[in-house]
Amino acid sequence: MRALTTLTAAGLFALVAASAGAQQAGSAGQGTGGFSMTPPIPGYNAPASPAATPSAAPAPAATNTPPPAQANTSPATSPSSGGTGRVPAFSVPSFPSASTGTPQAPTVNAPNSNTSAPVAQADPAPQPAAPQPSTLDTGIDLPGQPGGPAPTAAPFQMVPGQPAPVVTPVPSRNAGPVAPPRPDRYIIPQPRMIFAGEVSSRAWVIFLTPEEAAREATFLLSYINSVVVMPETSRIRVSINGQSIIETPIASSQEPSAFSVPIQRGNLRAGPNLIRVDVVQRHRTDCAVTATYELWTEINNEGTGISFAGGRPALTGGLDDMPSVGFDETGQTTIRVVTPGPIEGGGSARVLRAVQGLAVRGMFPNPSVSIAEGLQGPTPPGALTIVIGTASELPRLMATTLPEARQRPITSFVQDDRLGGPTLVISGPTPADVDRAIDRLNSISIDQSDAINTQTRWSPNAPLFDEARHVRLAELGVTTQEFSGRRLRAEFQIALPPDFFAEAYGNATLSVDAAFTAAVRPGSHIDLYVNQQIASTLPITTRGGGLLQHTPMFVPLRNFRAGINKLWLEVVLDTEADARCLPGATLPADNRFVLFDSSEFSIENFARIGRFPDLAAFSANGFPYYLDGSPMAVVLARQDASTLSAASTLISRLALARGAPLPIDTSPASVTLGERNAIFVGGIDHIAASVLSQVGIAESTRANWVVSSADELSGDSASESYDNVLERFRNRRTGEAPPIPSEQPNAHNTPEIYERWRENVASRGGVYAVMDRFESWLRSTFSIGFDSLRIKEGPRTMYEPPPRTSILMAQGSSTNGNSAWTLVTARTSDTLANSMSRFTSDAVWNRIGGQAVAFQNSTGDVERRDVGSFRFIVTQPLSFSNLRMIAANWLSTNIMPYALMLVLAGTLLGIFTAFLLKRLGRPT
pLDDT tens-place string over residues 676-725: 999 999 999 999 999 999 999 999 999 888 765 555 554 444 444 445 54
Residue 175 lies in a domain: no
**Tens digits of per-residue pLDDT, 614-673?**
999 999 999 999 998 899 999 999 989 999 999 999 999 999 999 999 999 998 988 889
* 765 domain-assigned: no
- 261-320 per-position pLDDT tens digit: 999 999 999 999 999 999 999 999 999 999 999 999 999 999 999 999 999 999 888 899
Query: Would you state the pLDDT for residue 317?
Result: 81
Q: Both 850 and 891 in a single domain? A: no
Question: For residue 778, is it within any domain?
Answer: no
CATH of residue 235's domain is 2.60.120.260
Q: Say how far apart CA 532 and CA 633 lie, in whole Å.
A: 35
Phi, psi angles (nearest 5°) of residue 479: -95, 165
| C-alpha dihedral sign at 695, 697, 698, 703 | negative
265 and 358 in a single domain? The answer is: no
Q: Residue 489 — very low, low, confident or very high, per pLDDT cuts 50/70/90? A: very high
pLDDT digit string, tens, across residues 507-565: 999 999 999 999 999 999 999 999 999 999 999 999 999 999 999 999 999 999 999 99
Same domain (yes/no): 253, 345? no
If asked whether residues 491 and 564 sit together in one domain, one would say yes
Choosing from 282, 308, 334, the residue where a domain stops is: 308
Domain shared by 654 and 517, yes or no: no
pLDDT, tens digit, 9 for 90 and up, residues 321-339: 999 999 999 999 999 999 8
Each residue's pLDDT tens digit, 820-853: 999 999 999 999 999 999 999 999 999 999 999 9
pLDDT beyond 80 at 78: no
* Res 585: pLDDT: 86
Of 175-184, 254-263, 340-349, 709-718, give the lowest mean pLDDT range. 709-718
pLDDT at 861 over 70: yes
Bridge partner list, 202: 277
- Using DSSP, state whether 622 is helix, strand or coil: coil
Could you tell me which of 553, 558, 552, 550 has the C-alpha nearest to residue 537? 553
* Mean pLDDT score, 26-43: 36
Residue 145 near residue 127, CB atoms below 8 Å = no
Q: For the domain that residue 318 is a member of, what is the CATH number?
A: 3.30.379.20
User: Residue 379: what pLDDT?
Assistant: 84
Element containing residue 229 per DSSP (H, E): none
| 436 & 460 share domain | no
Q: Are residues 512 and 529 in the same domain?
A: yes
User: Quick check: 94 pLDDT over 50?
Assistant: no
The answer on 192 and 269 residing in a single domain is yes
Q: Are residues 480 and 569 in the same domain?
A: yes
- Using DSSP, state whether 190 is helix, strand or coil: coil
Within this chain, do residues 506 and 596 fall inside the same structural domain, yes or no?
yes
Question: What pLDDT score was predicted for residue 80?
Answer: 37
**In this predicted model, which residue has the larger pLDDT, 399 or 782?**
399
Structure confidence at residue 368 (pLDDT): 96
Q: pLDDT band at 364, cuts 50/70/90?
A: very high
pLDDT band at 915 (very low <50, low <70, confident <90, very high): confident
Residue 721 located in a structural domain: no
* Sign (positive or negative) of CA dihedral 700, 703, 709, 713: positive
Tell me the pLDDT of the chain averaged across its residues.
79
pLDDT digit string, tens, across residues 551-572: 999 999 999 999 999 999 999 9
**What contacts 428, CB < 8 A, 6 or more positions away?**
390, 391, 405, 408, 409, 410, 434, 436, 437
Distance CA 490, CA 601 (A): 13
Provide the domain limits for residue 884. Answer: 880-920
Final residue in a domain of this structure, among 308, 329, 344: 308
Q: Would you say residue 865 lies in a domain?
A: no
- Per-residue pLDDT of 574-618, as tens digits, reads 999 999 999 888 888 899 999 999 999 999 999 999 999 999 999
**pLDDT (0 to 100) of residue 532:** 92
Q: Report the CATH number at residue 676.
A: 3.30.379.10
* 298 and 318 belong to one structural domain: no
- Domain finish residue from 444, 468, 503: 444
Task: Write down the pTM of the prediction.
Answer: 0.75
Phi, psi dihedrals of residue 7, rounded to the nearest 5°: -65, -40
Mean pLDDT over 740-769 rounds to 58
pLDDT of residue 278: 97
Q: Specify whether 650 is located in the same domain as 700.
A: yes
Q: What burial letters (b/e) apply to 142-180, b meaning 16+ CB within 10 Å? A: bbbbbbbbbbeeebeeeeeeeeebebbebebeeeeeeeb
User: For 853-860, what is the mean pLDDT?
Assistant: 93
pLDDT of 819 > 80? The answer is: yes
Residue 616 lies in a domain: no
What is the spatial distance between Cα 172 and Cα 771, in angstroms, rounded to a whole number? Answer: 76
Cis peptide before 340 (omega within 30 of 0): no
Any idea which of 150-154, 202-206, 402-406, 441-445 has the lowest mean pLDDT? 150-154
The alpha carbon of residue 660 and the mean position of all alpha carbons in its chain are separated, in whole angstroms, by 24
Residue 199: inside a domain? yes
Residue 779 is assigned to a structural domain of this protein: no
CA dist list (Å): 355 to 9, 410, 699: 89, 16, 33
pLDDT at 765: 60
Q: How many domains does the chain have?
A: 6
| Confidence band of 914 (pLDDT split at 50, 70, 90) | confident
